C-alpha cells in the first residue's frame, strides 16, 4: 500500500472529525462545506480502492485478497452511508453519525495497513 496516500487519507478524515466535533459542540447540523470536505475524503478513499486492488494484483506478498478487498470496499461505503443518514436525520444525532463515519475511515485505514503488513 502507499503510505503517502494512507497518511493523506487519515489526515483528511481527522480534519473531518475535528470539523464535525466543532459542529456538535455548537449544536449545529452539517452544511455544504462539511459535505464538500467529506466528498474530498471519499474521493481519496476511491483512489485508494483502485490503487489497493492494483497493488494487490501486482504483489508477491501473502495478503488475504478477499479480506483486503472487503475492507477497501467497506471503507468506500462508510462515508456515503453516514452522509445519507445525516441528511435524513437533520439533528445533532445526525451530525454525530458523520463523526462515527469519519472515524470509521480512520479505523479501517489502520486495519488495511495491518492486513497489508501480514498480520491479518
pLDDT digits 0-9 by tens, 65-83: 899 999 999 999 999 999 9
Distances 2 to 7, 8, 9, 39, 41 between C-alpha atoms, Å = 9, 10, 11, 21, 16
pTM tops 0.85: yes
Predicted pLDDT of residue 62: 85
11 has pLDDT over 90: yes
What tens digit of pLDDT does each residue of 54-69 get? 999 988 888 898 999 9
DSSP string, 21-49: HHHHHTT----HHHHHHHHHHHHHHHHHH
103 has pLDDT over 90: yes
Question: Which structural domain range is residue 101 located in?
Answer: 3-117
What tens digit of pLDDT does each residue of 91-100 get? 889 999 999 9
Cα separation of 119 and 98, whole Å?
29
Predicted pLDDT of residue 60: 84
CATH number at residue 78: 1.20.120
Cβ-based neighbours of 47, under 8 Å, separated by 6 or more: 5
Report CA torsion sign: 119, 40, 76, 63: negative
What does the block give as the cell for 60?
Answer: 508477491
Q: Structural domain tally of the chain?
A: 1
Distances 120 to 45, 93, 105 between C-alpha atoms, Å = 21, 34, 18
Confidence of residue 120 (pLDDT cuts 50, 70, 90): low
Amino acid at each position: 500500500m502507499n503510505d503517502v496516500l494512507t497518511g493523506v487519507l487519515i489526515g483528511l478524515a481527522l480534519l473531518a472529525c475535528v470539523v464535525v466535533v466543532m459542529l456538535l459542540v455548537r449544536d449545529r447540523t452539517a452544511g455544504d462545506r462539511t459535505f464538500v470536505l467529506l466528498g474530498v475524503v471519499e474521493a481519496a478513499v476511491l483512489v485508494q480502492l483502485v490503487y489497493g486492488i492494483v497493488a494487490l494484483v501486482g504483489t508477491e506478498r501473502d495478503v488475504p485478497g478477499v479480506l483486503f478487498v472487503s475492507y477497501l470496499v467497506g471503507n468506500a461505503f462508510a462515508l456515503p452511508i453516514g452522509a445519507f443518514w445525516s441528511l435524513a436525520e437533520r439533528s445533532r444525532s445526525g451530525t454525530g453519525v458523520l463523526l462515527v463515519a469519519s472515524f470509521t475511515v480512520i479505523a479501517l485505514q489502520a486495519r488495511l495497513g495491518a492486513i497489508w503488513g501480514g498480520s491479518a
